[in-house]
Amino acid sequence: MPRLATFVTLLALLFASSEPVSADTGVSTFNDFSSQSGVACAGFSPDNSQGTNIFAAALGDLSPLWTGARCEGTITASDCTGTGSCIDCTGPACPDEEQCGQCFNISCASSLDGETTGSCSDTVIKVKIVDACPSTHPENFCKIAEFGGDVPADQACEASGVNAFDIATTARSLLSSFQGNLNINIESTSC
């Protein structure tokens, strides 16, 4: 091969391998979307399945991957019972969820609760964002210690700077044999 062609080939290889892949980490809780009365993203059905091998997911509005304005609403202690539940459980409006309809590859990295029995699978699942997990929703913030609950902030969409995905419960056993929540690997992908 002439030297120039070799050089061009090498350059092409270099560019192919350094293609920007946005890889992130975060946490996953699990949710039954089919039991929800509606979803925050217009045009998506409240179903765990969003197509063949595509699972529904909600993205926490404190997540670095969130784009657009955060959900409306305020965190008010009087909305909580003080024991982890809410009295006024009205959720905020989320009029600017710019990740609606975007897809991500998700795989398990480890147990979030330090489970010692169980393991991650090698399976990569695809999720589609169909909802938000608003930090100003009483069903979320009332659960954390600050308001008398016992759920860690990162498992209630209340941890700033953590990519929080609430993924269809039907995807749980594909990701791992752990019983609880997960640390996850996240990669932006096409739907």
Ligand X SMILES: *[C@@H]1O[C@H](CO)[C@@H](O)[C@H](O)[C@H]1NC(C)=O
Residues of the shown chain interacting with ligand X in the complex, contacts defined by CB under 6 A: 105, 124, 187, 189
Q: How far is CA 177 from CA 2, 93, 110, 125, in A?
A: 54, 35, 11, 15
CB of 41 to ligand X, least distance (A): 21
Rounded to the nearest whole angstrom, what is the least distance from the CB of residue 124 to ligand X in the complex? 4
Measured between alpha carbons, how far is 13 from 27 in angstroms, rounded to an integer? 34
d(CA 26, CA 42): 25
Nearer to ligand X by C-beta: 126 or 137? 126
Count of alpha carbons within 13 Å of 49, Cβ hemisphere only? Answer: 3
Comparing CB distances to ligand X, the nearer of 183 and 189 is 189
- Among residues 34 and 189, whose Cβ is nearest to ligand X? 189
Smallest separation, CB 11 to ligand X (Å)? 23
**Quick one: which of 48, 25, 3, 30 has its CA closest to 162?**
25
Q: What is the CA radius of gyration of the chain?
A: 19
Whose Cβ is closer to ligand X: residue 23's or residue 89's?
23
For the bound state, the minimum distance from the C-beta of residue 165 to ligand X, rounded and expressed in Å, comes to: 15
